[in-house]
Amino acid sequence: MSEKEFYLEYIQLGPQVKVTAIDPDTGIEVCIIAPATASKAEMNRVAVDKLIHVLAKSRAQTDKKHKSAEPEDKRGGVLI
């Protein structure tokens, strides 16, 4: 099983680094601000973990919308 790939962008902002993680499939992106003294591996981990959390939350909301759109009574008609 191959690991999911994400795009990562780093922008130095004085003593901090803004790290943006982007999912290429959905275009969803998240940002974190880390101290410039943090290791690149740690910045990557935090940004990717946040993106995975946001993607899971988005997927759960989408699943919930699809389930609520289906009528609970499969006989048709309008439920009152």
Q: Considering the entire predicted model, what is its pTM?
A: 0.74
Residue with the bigger pLDDT between 29 and 78: it is 29
pLDDT at 33: 97
User: Can you tell me the distance from the alpha carbon of 43 to that of 78, in angstroms, rounded to the nearest whole number?
Assistant: 52
Cβ neighbours, 10 Å, residue 55: 17
- 41-78 residue pLDDT tens: 999 999 999 999 999 999 888 777 666 655 565 676 66
Report the pLDDT value the prediction gives residue 63, as an integer from 0 to 100.
76
**Mean pLDDT for the stretch of residues 33-42:** 97
Residue with tokens 């940004």: 47
What is the model's pLDDT at position 24? Answer: 95
